[in-house]
Amino acid sequence: MQKRKVGTSGLEVSELGFGCMGMSFSYGPPKDTKEMTALLHAAVERGVTFFDTAEVYGPLINEKLVGEALAPFRGQVVIATKFGWEANPEDGGKWSALNSRPEHIKKVAEESLKRLKVDAIDLYYQHRVDLNVPIEDVAGAVKELIQEGKVKHFGLSEASAKTIRRAHAVQSVTALQSEYSLFFREPEESVIPTLEELGIGFVPFSPLGKGFLTGKIDAETKFDSNDFRNTVPRFSAENRKTNQALVDVITAFAHKKKATPAQIALAWLLAKKPWIVPIPGTTKLSRLEENLGGASIKLTAEDVRALEESSSKVKVEGARYSPFHQQLVGR
């Protein structure tokens, strides 16, 4: 596994990271702790050094899982986590309220440090932009945590180019984490040029389109009742049937390269910019190994052009989030 620098910050990680969310959250019930611990160890053994979690995943249990599983590898791995949510009493106690007030950030940072069993958080993202708190105040709070040695790097998630610039003026932003894949290419419009200009790394989540680009999901697929894709318009049966055309394009390209669709989707991201580090997630060893195989596929500029030309002809149908979550991105 090759290493990559996340922008110009000096943070170096494996070229493919590991998104840990699905082990505890969003894709059905939480998975067996022992099995997930073994999978995280397998990832480290195969060269992965970059792991992504958040306090809201679970909530709280994913950070605890990651912290305990990766404790034997302190100093060898980089763990990113996120702040910005809290329980909402008006919503039955669900973690559906945003809170990025400086005092809240500092409080939950201490709690994440304990769950992760670390002295400093390697990369600390604001999970979603909170319009009730100026981004300058958020960046200032993280800057103080960095000065105190409790955080090493500051990140944003699903922020607009304008917000990124404002935050970066107060505290250097090391990375932006947002959705980006052949299934969702909107960041190319203004976000990626801004990141390149400012020397900020890009960490695409859902690089496999929430599983859709693997070719293992079709219009007939039934999701677990706890699977958040049930609420996503893009994953309605009708839209899955229409969007299958994109998977067909990627699959045809993959056949030529003697690879799987998932591997091509990841190889495409790695070929786009040397400072892009995708974080595919999985709960299965076979999928982990398949994903890591994507790093060994080197696409040429002509390969990228051909893949984009053919995939761009497919109009993807459906919003990528429910209305509530859709309003929280790109702010």
Provide, rounded to the nearest whole percent, the portion of the chain with pLDDT above 70. Answer: 100
Q: Which of 50, 1, 51, 61 is nearest to 26 (CA)?
A: 61
Assess if residue 173 is contained within a domain: yes
User: What's this model's pTM, rounded to 2 decimal places?
Assistant: 0.98
CA atoms within 13 A on the CB side of 307: 27
Based on the structure, what is the number of domains in the chain? 1
Q: Which of 195, 329, 221, 204 is nearest to 277 (CA)?
A: 204
Backbone angles phi, psi at 297, to 5 degrees: -95, 115
CATH of the domain at 8: 3.20.20.100
pLDDT at 154: 98
Answer yes or no: 57 catalytic: yes
Assess if residue 84 is contained within a domain: yes
Catalytic, out of 57, 124, 125, 321: 57
Output b/e per residue, 66-76; b: 16+ Cβ within 10 A. Answer: bbebbeeeeee
Mean pLDDT calculated for residue range 215-224: 96
- Please say whether the beta carbons of 29 and 224 come within 8 A: yes
Q: What is the pLDDT of residues 109-157, one digit of tens each?
A: 999 999 999 999 999 999 999 999 999 999 999 999 999 999 999 999 9
Q: What is the pLDDT of residues 145-178, one digit of tens each?
A: 999 999 999 999 999 999 999 999 999 999 999 9
Note down the domain range covering 129.
Answer: 3-210+273-296
d(CA 209, CA 93): 29
Cis ω for the linkage preceding 207 (within 30 of 0): no
